[in-house]
Amino acid sequence: MIKKANKFILLYHTAAKDDIAKRSKAAKMFCGGKMALHFQQKREHLQAILPRDVHFDERTLTFLHRIDNIDLRNSASGRTARVRTISDANAEVHTGGPKMTNAEKLTLAKHACHIRMGVIEGTHSAKCGHPGGSLDIAEVLAYLYFVEMKVDPKDPKNPDRDRLVLSKGHAAPALYAALAERGFFPVEDLKTLRKIGSYLQGHPNMNSVPGVDMSTGSLGQGVSAACGMALGAKHAGKPINVYTILGDGEVEEGECWEAFMFASHYGLSNLCVMLDRNHLQIDGTTETVMNSAPLEEKLKAFNFNVLTINGHDFDAIESAIAAFRAENEKPTCIILDTLKGKGVSFMENSVDWHGKGPNDEEYAQAMQELNAAYAALEEEDK
Ligand SMILES: Cc1ncc(C[n+]2csc(CCOP(=O)(O)OP(=O)(O)O)c2C)c(N)n1
């Protein structure tokens, strides 16, 4: 789709280095811009973040150098380069882009599986915690941390990074597992979840955990903080995106709706609310405890750009985030239809697994299932 816009994304997906050169030609038709970085700086930046086996030839580098605000990042597979540019109002841009390859999706699925294993390791070791609402956000975390977000595990406090606020802070085991998988700290440490003296406490603490952007746990507060971050980035004129993950039980908190009102009032188009609609909360269905439906209509009435997707489908996540990036005026809410406890049969869609850790037997079964799922992905990847 070609359209005129202030803000746009340009995606390169490439399976091989030759492809990068080819696609850059097509992209050249759609954008221009002035130099944002010194050529050598840009080359160093590219080479630092791209896998060793991907090289840009001189012509492609020259082309990339001409794009304003280049922002390249690795994909999960290490074989995709993405470019996001922010251009002037009259630029003709390409807002779509080739979709992820099956190999890339498989790699993401493996990351999601590792995240689930991390959740089970942590909650088993702690003998408590929140596995259900952690397991169901594995795909979205894998996509955000391995494809989308501009973050650097070696520089977790970089002021220009994208932010993720886990507003449903009780899903900390999933956030920790995603951060460990992305290299912010050792995977081994996940077993220290909730232990006295560990930096991995039951709810995320931005002061002690590398990669955690906001301390959360009191439902409703995270989204409010995310609004402040998004407004701050807008004021500073920085291309920072803020993602926040909320639960459908969490939105029963009035504070969320104040935050939504604030987000639309200030036109926080750099804010992406990801609302995990698994229909369960702490001790029952959201419908019976305090019905938050109809969420789409309510968020549209709050002047959000609203999309509803299957929260376990990487294609759908990719398209929805592309739509978020193409939105210039409103905040976006992506409603993720998910299955609480996803990936561990006896935890799926069961309110019993909202807030307790698996015992040894349950741990063994859960890990067996996740190992089998991982082996199936490896098989498919051959
Ligand atoms: C202000 C506040 N009230 C109550 C709680 C206790 N609590 C923790 S999780 C939870 C249910 C949340 O449901 P939902 O947002 O749907 O989470 P998910 O099902 O995705 O895990 C509650 C009530 C809290 N953390 N904060």
Residue nearest to atom 7 of ligand 1 (CA): 282
Q: What is the distance in A from the centroid of ligand 1 to the CA of 273?
A: 17
Residue ranges and CATH numbers for the domains of the chain are 2-98 (no CATH), 103-344 (3.40.50.970)
**What are the pLDDT digits (tens) for 201-250?**
999 999 999 999 999 999 999 999 999 999 999 999 999 999 999 999 99
Ligand 1 atom with minimal separation from the 276 CA: 20
pLDDT at 97: 43
Residue nearest to atom 22 of ligand 1 (CA): 282
- Burial class, 147, CB count within 10 angstroms (exposed 0-12 / middle 13-18 / buried 19+): buried
Residue nearest to atom 16 of ligand 1 (CA): 249
Q: What is the distance in A from the centroid of ligand 1 to the CA of 248?
A: 9
311 lines ligand 1 (CB under 6 A): no
What is the distance between the alpha carbons of residues 12 and 23, in angstroms, rounded to a whole number? 7
pLDDT band per the 50, 70, 90 thresholds, residue 140? very high
279 lines ligand 1 (CB under 6 A): no
What is the distance between the alpha carbons of residues 148 and 97, in angstroms, rounded to a whole number? 14
Q: What is the distance in A from the centroid of ligand 1 to the CA of 168?
A: 7
More confident residue, 183 or 3: 183
Ligand 1 atom with minimal separation from the 248 CA: 16
pLDDT at 67: 41
pLDDT surpassing 50 at residue 36 = no
Q: What is the distance in A from the centroid of ligand 1 to the CA of 246?
A: 10
Kindly report whether the global pTM for this prediction surpasses the value 0.85: no
pLDDT surpassing 80 at residue 139 = yes
Residue written as tokens 């006295």?
196
pLDDT at 44: 53
295 lines ligand 1 (CB under 6 A): no
Ligand 1 atom with minimal separation from the 251 CA: 15
What is the distance between the alpha carbons of residues 123 and 139, in angstroms, rounded to a whole number? 19
122 lines ligand 1 (CB under 6 A): no
Residue written as tokens 């520089």?
155
**What are the pLDDT digits (tens) for 160-201?**
999 999 999 999 999 999 999 999 999 999 999 999 999 999
Beta bridge partners, 2, equal 94
5 lines ligand 1 (CB under 6 A): no
370 lines ligand 1 (CB under 6 A): no
Q: Which residues contact 204 (CB under 8 A, 6 or more apart)?
A: 166, 169, 172, 175, 176, 212, 214, 215, 216, 217
Ligand 1 atom with minimal separation from the 340 CA: 19
pLDDT band per the 50, 70, 90 thresholds, residue 90? very low
Beta bridge partners, 332, equal 272, 305
Average pLDDT rounded to a whole number, residues 337-362: 98
pLDDT at 322: 87
If we measure between CA atoms, which residue out of 26, 106, 104, 98 comes closest to residue 63? 26
Q: Which of 54-63, 143-152, 245-254, 334-343 has the lowest mean pLDDT?
A: 54-63
pLDDT at 335: 97
Query: 356 to each of 10, 114, 125, 199, 210, how far by Cα in Å?
Result: 43, 20, 11, 20, 25
Give the angle 274-8-41 at the CA atoms, nearest 5°.
Answer: 105
Q: What is the distance in A from the centroid of ligand 1 to the CA of 219?
A: 6
Ligand 1 pocket test target in 219, 248, 258, 335 with most atoms within 8 Å of CB: 219
Q: Which of 42-46, 89-93, 144-148 has the lowest mean pLDDT?
A: 89-93
**What are the pLDDT digits (tens) for 320-349?**
998 998 888 999 999 999 999 999 999 999
217 lines ligand 1 (CB under 6 A): yes
